[in-house]
A and B are shown apart, each in its own frame.
Chain A
Amino acid sequence: MRARTLFEKVWDAHVVRPETADSPAVLYVDLHLVHEVTSPQAFEVLRERGLRVRRPDKTVATMDHSIPTTPGGGRFAIADPQAAAQLRRLEENCSEFGIELHALGSEGQGIVHVIGPEMGLTQPGRTIVCGDSHTSTHGAFGALAFGVGTSEVAHVLATQSVLQRRPRTFEIRVDGQLRPGVTAKDLILAVIARIGVGGGAGHVLEYTGSAVRALSMEQRMTVCNMSIEAGARAGMIAPDDTTFEYLAKTPRAPKGAAWDRALTAWRALPSDAGAPYDAAVRIDASELEPMITYGTNPGMALPVGARVPDPAAVSDAAARASLEKALRYMDLRPGQPLIGQKVDVVFIGSCTNSRIEDLRGAASVLRGRKVAKGVRTLVVPGSRRVKQAAEAEGLDRVFTDAGAEWREPGCSMCIAMNGDQLEPGQYAVSTSNRNFEGRQGKGGRTFLASPLTAAAAAVAGRIADPRELAR
């Protein structure tokens, strides 16, 4: 048989009706994740047309984007009537259509891309969609997972299927060993800087190579999460023993004989030797440094020790204009070292970096140290379970002793819909995924970095090299 990639195997197994010149493929969806912001108008479509949800048993909802993360707050902390109405609408929709909902305050609540994996719903070989571009996160398990718009949320609710043209494949091969202080976040920021914010368009990325195999599941999720920031719909990593060990501990993974059957199927998923990709790049992990962004898209990233680039040195006119606009917004000077740049806020959280290993990383820097005077530091766990695990290890005390805020789970300052936001002009070092203008609050300025680099900035009050604070 023809050698196939991981992506092709998962795609082929879910084609209900193959694509033709005249129509896209009908692709079956194994798991549909739903949240409050991109679903109300989709449920409205069902009502207008008198449709039901085809497979409520394959649909799981949570509240994450617009909920407060005020410590001990719960639903009484929802000051915004519009957000409150949106959350109520999700409850009504889930109750009317029979969908499992992890509501605010419930045990399983958290960021949609954190709870899917921790429950064991995210499994190798599955197709997973959600009305959220960071659905690419779930590809860390060898699932084909991509974000869709609200019209497609309605399509999936009504038919458990989406219409898709088959994307091309792009191998990102990373060999070698990451050096101390260099994390999965630095790896993916380096990938995006290399291929560009549109470099993955039309493709599904597959991360391969010894450096990728060496990553934990949480680190793999960080990598796949930001595939969309390179313009790719999805990122995937072949399942292996690391994947299976993680899954075996999750409540909803198959058990007993079903586990054995699943394992046999999962072991057949990795790309066959010699399977061709439509595009490829190679990266040497041992050459990577801690990365940080300086501009207004995630591709504008450099090693933390670098200087702000000079637009005058950029030959392409559109790229030069884009860099000039970014530096104006960020109020940074060409040639200025990034290290030493003052910061006002540090945000540790988001679907990119809010899992227990991320919090352990940040805590390793903050333990026994203090957040610099005048710097507001928010630590926002990705889910209630992450929060409980962190508290069981005493990480909450490490953060609060250092002077950081230990908050309730949610998307928080990554998207700044819930009141957690920057003031105009403020600088933040953030472990989230987007440094777009105003993303963390109107007029706010974002430097994206790893949890280690973010924690180092909290201590220094300035951008700092996390390796200098390592212990």
Chain B
Amino acid sequence: MEPIRRIVSRTVVLPQRDVDTDQIIPARYLKTTQRAGLGAALFADWRYDPDGRPRPDFPLNQPQAAGAQVLVAGANFGCGSSREHAPWALHDFGFRAVVSSSIADIFRSNALKNGLIPVVLDPAAHERLLSSPGAQVTIDLETRTLVAGGLTAPFPLDPFARHCLMNGVDELGFLLSQSGEIAAWEEAACER
């Protein structure tokens, strides 16, 4: 994984709340055995009309969305299915952070393992970003703050996840380093 310390980008705003992972990537795209290339299917049923043409009014299809790395979405983003294809698709499309006032548990956990930063802001800061699409923002992992214009908003980030993101290391390496303790636990469990 690429180390990430800071993201500087314009935002794309998807204001609706409770965006579920079935919308982020519909189930018919889950028949793949790969993780690459899912960006084309991101928000497929919202992004394309029934003939497969991009819907011009969908935020991701607007010219100013090109190259944006930060998605600002309504509350409870990523609810529903545990499919990790959702953060894979967002990352493959080019996003490096998702900003909301709340982010569903499994999605947040999956995002952190794929270089996609879940940024949970207080409702007032969130509201300001929702109402200013295309805002230039800086997300700094060192200080755990999002800065946009006159706004400086702190966000929580688990120290362990932050360490992994900033150093480009993955959690599996840490778990594998615990093999001795896992084996000891198994042995003790056998005796119980």
With an 8 A cutoff between CB atoms, is B109 at the interface? yes
- B104 near A154: Cβ-Cβ < 8 Å: no
Check: A22 CB closer than 8 A to any chain B CB: yes
Contact, CB under 8 Å: A415 / B113: no
Contact B159 A160, beta carbon cutoff 8 Å: no
Q: Which of A143-151, A235-243, A340-348 contacts B (4 or more CB under 8 A)?
A: A143-151
Residue of B20, B33, B76 with most chain A CB atoms under a 10 A cut-off: B33
Q: Which of B62-70, B133-141, B171-179 contacts A (4 or more CB under 8 A)?
A: B171-179
- Whether A424 pairs with B178 at a CB distance below 8 angstroms is no
Evaluate contact between A26 and B182: CB separation under 8 angstroms: yes
Chain A contributes a number of interface residues (CB within 8 A of B) equal to 68
Contact in complex: A198, B75 (CB < 8 Å): yes
A contact set with B: CB distance below 8 Å:
16-17, 21-24, 26, 28, 37-38, 40-41, 44-45, 49, 51, 54, 65-66, 80, 82-83, 85-86, 89, 131-133, 147-152, 154-155, 158-161, 163, 165, 167, 197-198, 201-202, 228-229, 231, 233, 297, 318-319, 321-322, 325, 415-417, 424, 434, 436-439, 442-443
Residues of B near A151 (CB, < 8 A) are: 84, 110, 113-114, 170-172
Asked whether B16 lies within 8 Å of A231 as measured between CB atoms, the reply is: no
Q: In the complex, A362 Cα to B74 Cα: how many Å? A: 38
Question: Whole-angstrom distance from the CB of B16 to the nearest CB of chain A?
Answer: 6
Other 9 A-B pairs with CB < 8 A, given A158-B175, A161-B178, A233-B105: A16-B178, A28-B189, A41-B84, A132-B82, A318-B75, A322-B18, A437-B45, A438-B22, A442-B28
Q: Would you give 5 A-B contacts (Cβ < 8 Å), ordered by A? A: A66-B30, A151-B114, A197-B18, A229-B80, A434-B20
B residues 84-108 near A (Cβ < 8 Å) are 84, 87, 102, 104-106
Chain B residues, Cβ within 8 Å of A82: 31-32
Interface residues of B in 37-86 (CB under 8 A from A): 45, 50, 74-76, 79-84
Given A231-B76, A415-B27, A436-B80: A159 and B33 interface contact (C-beta under 8 Å): no
- By the criterion CB–CB under 8 Å, are A37 and B30 in contact? yes
Which residue in chain B gives the minimum CB-CB distance to A299? B18
Return A233 CB to nearest CB of chain B, in Å: 5
Is A22 touching B160 in the complex (CB atoms < 8 A)? Answer: yes
